[in-house]
Chain A
Amino acid sequence: MSPARKKTTTRRTPARRPARRTAPPKKGAAVQLRLVAATVAAQSAPPIKDVAGLMAYAYALEAEASERYSEFADAMESHNNREVAELFRKLARIENMHAEHILEEMGWTHPPAPPTGGWRWEGLEGPETADYTDLHYLMQPYHALQIALHNEKRAEAFFKELVQKTPSGKVRTAAKQMADEETEHVRLVEEWLKRTPKPESDWAHDPDPPRWSD
């Protein structure tokens, strides 16, 4: 998802391949958000042997998501977009709460060691972690919630896939519980989105843009 997709035309430009000019955005033009499909490939399933292993992954997922939302809040604050900053701060708190809940449920006094073993998420980061390039300095709460929804859906898909692929009874039950929780989060964010005003089509219009050539 990329609310920052201000350009209507973009081209792929490999590092040493010819680059062509990207079409300048038309002022007031509709901005298309790009949703990156939430894919969790079969081989992405981690080699989880027990519930503690599963919950260590779940903790890593929630903690990374919380940290990223905090970074987003800082970035928005620096650019005086306080409304979105506050929303990202709230999302960071929610994800942190989920992480804390895992600690409490597992009776862990310290965060578990980060999952190791050469396994990595299917995407470049955890399924609930937003991409840095998703941001735009003029984005609105609606965009932030779209990012959150996208991430919750990816997390839901991640745990659902684990349920399908995990033979062990206890791990499977725990994965199912996590998947159900993520489904609930999806529902909550969807409801939140319904209550949030949709941005005008020209939300990215800046009368004093950083690109003087605009």
Chain B
Amino acid sequence: MTISAQPQAALAPQAFKSDYKPVWCPGCGDYSVLSSLTKAFALLELQPERIAVVSGIGCSSRIPAYTTCYGFHGVHGRALAAATGLKLARPELTVIAAGGDGDGYSIGGNHFLHACRRNVDMTYVVMDNHVYGMTKGQPSPTTEPDWDSKLSPGGTGMRAFNPLVIALAAGANFIARAFAGDPNTTAALIAEAISAPGFSFVEVLSPCVTFRPEQRDWKQMVRAAPVQWTDDAARAARRLMTDDGMNIGVLYKGSRAAYRTHVAKTSKRPADLEEEFRI
């Protein structure tokens, strides 16, 4: 695909959807997130060939194929690693990493920490349904400790991972929570996240109607965050630690400069390095 330098007309959201039809379960929140993502791209007047959507493994990680953007459906938990490399190599691209709670917080947990810390200018959208859906409903890091199922009788007894607090502590520059049942607000939040400098993280509560049918009730439980976002990390931490996980909106906006690749340069050539390591 040739990247044109000519100004191009703004596209409708539909232009960012590919001809591949999603195979998610009917009722899945991920349909809505796909719609929000394409609306956000249209809102920002982006062009598909200037965007890369990178994912790992899981139901939600299918999302790159459903867009007309460049895409990479990678290795389990490694979306952020691939997205980081891509953004550093091609800084002019808008890079979106996307996936689920299992992929991002468990298998890819370490990448999550360091992506927040590095603060590379990209956006991470996590479709959190508190369960491993693709593999038939095992508890994920965000599953409540007493979620009782045949695969986890009596619940795991383990405290749920709090991704927003972890992101804040690790250094993410923009933190928001969205709800899949409200695709227009989610689109606006994703657009804001893309526009924010540095690593921006949007956690989307995305119901899994197959393994967590009770999550349909999220619709009645979510609310707009009662207070506006803060740039004070300590205040944000207090809020994130004490909210019930249902406040929707931008919750934290930091002011850290995004990671730059050219802070210092070496005068050595690759051949010099090769020489140094010669045995």
Interface residues of A (CB under 8 A from B): 2, 4-7, 10-22, 67, 71-72, 74-79, 81, 120, 124-125, 131-137, 139, 210-213
Contact = CB atoms under 8 A, between A and B. Distances in A.
Interface string B128-165: 00100000110000111111111100010000101000
A76 B182 contact: no
A211 B31 contact: no
B245 A14 contact: yes
A5 B210 CA distance: 10
Nearest to B35: A71
Given A15-B246, A16-B245, 17 more contacts: A4-B26, A10-B214, A15-B205, A17-B245, A19-B130, A19-B148, A19-B155, A20-B148, A74-B21, A75-B21, A78-B22, A124-B183, A133-B29, A133-B181, A137-B25, A210-B25, A211-B136
A15 B131 CA distance: 12
Contacts of B145: 18
A139 B179 CA distance: 25
A74 B18 CA distance: 12
Nearest to B215: A13
B85 interface: no
Contact of B216 (A75, A133, A139): A133
Nearest to B21: A74
Residue among A5, A71, A131 with max Cβ neighbours from chain B (10 Å): A71
Contacts of A7: 213-214
A191 to B, nearest CB: 26
B26 A76 contact: yes
Most buried by B among A20, A75, A134, A210: A75
B28 interface: yes
Contacts of A71: 31, 35
B144 A17 contact: yes
A171 to B, nearest CB: 24
A53 to B, nearest CB: 18
B245 A15 contact: yes
A213 to B, nearest CB: 4
A13 B144 CA distance: 8
Interface in B195-222: 205, 207, 209-211, 213-217, 219-221
B219 A21 contact: no
Given A21-B148, A124-B181, A136 B26 contact: yes
A75 B26 contact: yes
Contacts of A67: 14
Contacts of B21: 74-75, 77-78
Contacts of A213: 137, 149-151
14 contacts: A2-B216, A4-B216, A13-B214, A19-B143, A20-B148, A22-B214, A75-B22, A75-B26, A120-B185, A124-B184, A133-B207, A135-B209, A137-B25, A211-B211
A130 to B, nearest CB: 11
Given A5-B213, A21-B147, A213-B151, A125 B160 contact: no
Contact of B184 (A13, A18, A75, A120): A120
Contact of A12 (B25, B26, B221): B221
Given A13-B144, A15-B130, A19-B146, A133 B219 contact: yes
A17 B160 CA distance: 9
Contacts of A133: 27, 29, 181, 207, 209, 216, 219
A84 to B, nearest CB: 9
A17 B215 contact: no
B274 interface: no
B217 A132 contact: no
Contacts of A16: 144, 160, 162, 244-245
A57 to B, nearest CB: 14
Contact of A21 (B23, B149, B162, B179): B149
A132 B22 contact: no
Contacts of A81: 26
A15 B181 contact: no
